[in-house]
């Protein structure tokens, strides 16, 4: 059964889109990630124009992040104040990101830039995660206790000015690195169509030393508002959010996520992280291959005149 996507301006098989949404939803439920970094490349592999894939991906992340954020809010593992500071940076970053996005689109370099950014980020994050989880797996195989961080350790981040007290997280931290992190993630949201949790969560834990229990909920809080804002701005400037495509992905995604969560609870944390790392690396490698092998067609056509 085909369905016409009014913004992407092409007909697609509805079952493929449903399958894609459900599969990514399943994985995102299993690993506790938003899934934007999988949805956007998959849509691009399925010939959806990258402009539409990125904007629609951001819209899909809104839906997949909300249910997670709600449950964290109920459990009290969401630091509103920290989230708001992150969000301030995120909104500014997303605005700059949209501007870069439109500029790259005019130059005809958007597709390349999106792919490159994915290759670099997925490559780095995937390798780091794989390295870390393999070590953890070895440790648990030898029955060694996990290495815990020494409390009270001071790094350069803690010497920055504009310190704020975040009661829920029980930390006293400068607002500067939080805003900067939010800003960087905001740029990624608008250019890559991701929530950015896969970068934000490790950065909050390892760089900002924010207690692990509030990290996921707080990052989800930031992601909801930044992706919602990005969806609005993409719709207003690039007219590239496909509501039909997004709706199919969202419905399939939230259902898939429920089953993913159940499977995820049966697997151990280290195994789960190793699997996710392999998945992240696989997507990155697939995109990298597309960049380096000689394309069958060197030319491409776009409607409209662009400044050279």
Partner 1 sequence: MLRLAPLVIAAFLAIVSPTSAQVPFGEASTVKEGLEIGTSTSEIAITSDFRGADLTVFGALTNADELFLAIGQYDVIVTLEGPRDYATVRRKERVLGIWMNTNSMTFELVPESYSLASTREIDTIDEEPSLNSIGVGINHLALTPTGYIGNAVDLSDFRDAYRRLKLASGLYQRDTSGVRFVSSSLFRASLRLPANIPDGVHTVRAYLFKGRELIHERELPLRVVKTGLEQAITDTAHNRPITYGFLCVMIAVITGWGASLIFRKD
Residue ranges that bind partner 1, judged by CB under 8 A:
1-4, 6-7, 9-11, 59-60, 62-67, 70-71, 108-109, 112, 116, 228, 231-237, 239, 241, 243-244, 246-247, 250-251, 254-255, 257-258, 291-295, 297-306, 308
As given in the structure block, the two tokens for residue 224 are 């909801």
Torsion angle of the four alpha carbons 73, 74, 77, 79, in this order, in degrees rounded to the nearest 10:
40
Residue with smaller CB distance to partner 1, 148 or 300: 300
Q: Minimal distance in Å, beta carbon 243 to partner 1?
A: 5
The maximal CA–CA distance of the chain, rounded, in angstroms, is 64
Rg of the chain over Cα atoms, rounded to whole angstroms, equals 20
Question: What is the DSSP pairing of strand 163-166 with strand 171-174?
Answer: antiparallel
Residue with smaller CB distance to partner 1, 176 or 235: 235
Residue with smaller CB distance to partner 1, 134 or 255: 255
Q: Minimal distance in Å, beta carbon 203 to partner 1?
A: 24
Q: Minimal distance in Å, beta carbon 28 to partner 1?
A: 12
Sequence-distant (≥ 6) Cβ neighbours of residue 251 within 8 angstroms = 21
Q: Minimal distance in Å, beta carbon 250 to partner 1?
A: 4
Residue with smaller CB distance to partner 1, 159 or 294: 294
Q: Minimal distance in Å, beta carbon 201 to partner 1?
A: 19
Residue with tokens 């030898």: 142
From residue 23, alpha-carbon distances to 69, 167, 195 in Å are: 21, 38, 18
CA distance 294 to 190: 29
C-alpha closest to that of 5 among 40, 42, 52, 57: 52
Residue with smaller CB distance to partner 1, 72 or 209: 72
Residue with smaller CB distance to partner 1, 64 or 222: 64
Q: Minimal distance in Å, beta carbon 13 to partner 1?
A: 11
From residue 176, alpha-carbon distances to 83, 173, 198 in Å are: 14, 9, 21
Q: What are the backbone angles phi and psi of residue 13, rounded to the nearest 5°?
A: -80, 120
Q: Is 10 helix (H, G, I), strand (E, B) or coil?
A: strand
Q: What are the backbone angles phi and psi of residue 218, rounded to the nearest 5°?
A: -70, -40
Q: Minimal distance in Å, beta carbon 120 to partner 1?
A: 12
Q: Minimal distance in Å, beta carbon 5 to partner 1?
A: 9
Q: Minimal distance in Å, beta carbon 67 to partner 1?
A: 4
Residue with smaller CB distance to partner 1, 141 or 305: 305
Q: How many of the other CB atoms lie within 10 Å of CB of 152?
A: 5
Residue with smaller CB distance to partner 1, 3 or 278: 3
Residue with smaller CB distance to partner 1, 82 or 241: 241
- In sign, the C-alpha dihedral spanning 23, 27, 28, 33 is negative
As given in the structure block, the two tokens for residue 24 are 């990514």
């Amino acid at each position: 059964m085909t369905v016409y996507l009014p913004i992407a301006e092409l007909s697609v098989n509805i079952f493929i889109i449903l399958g894609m949404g459900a599969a990514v939803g399943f994985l995102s439920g299993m690993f506790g990630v938003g899934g934007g970094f999988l949805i956007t490349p998959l849509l691009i592999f399925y010939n959806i124009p990258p402009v539409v894939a990125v904007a629609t991906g951001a819209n899909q992340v809104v839906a997949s992040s909300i249910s997670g954020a709600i449950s964290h809010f109920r459990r009290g593992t969401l630091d509103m104040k920290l989230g708001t500071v992150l969000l301030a940076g995120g909104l500014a970053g997303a605005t700059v990101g949209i501007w870069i996005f439109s500029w790259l689109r005019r130059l005809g370099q958007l597709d390349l830039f999106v792919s490159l950014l994915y290759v670099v980020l997925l490559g780095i994050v995937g390798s780091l995660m794989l390295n870390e989880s393999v070590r953890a797996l070895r440790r648990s195989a030898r029955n060694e206790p996990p290495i815990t961080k020494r409390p009270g350790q001071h790094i350069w981040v803690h010497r920055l000015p504009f310190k704020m007290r975040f009661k829920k997280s029980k930390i006293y931290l400068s607002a500067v690195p939080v805003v900067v992190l939010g800003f960087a993630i905001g740029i990624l949201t608008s250019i890559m169509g991701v929530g950015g949790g896969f970068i934000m969560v490790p950065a909050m834990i390892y760089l900002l030393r924010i207690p692990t229990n509030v990290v996921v909920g707080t990052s989800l809080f930031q992601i909801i508002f930044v992706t919602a804002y990005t969806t609005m701005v993409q719709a207003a400037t690039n007219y590239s959010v496909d509501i039909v495509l997004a709706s199919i992905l969202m419905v399939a995604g939230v259902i898939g996520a429920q089953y993913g969560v159940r499977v995820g609870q049966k697997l151990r944390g280290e195994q789960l992280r190793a699997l996710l790392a392999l998945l992240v690396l696989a997507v990155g490698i697939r995109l990298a291959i597309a960049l380096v092998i000689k394309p069958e067609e060197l030319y491409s056509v776009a409607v409209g005149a662009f400044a050279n």
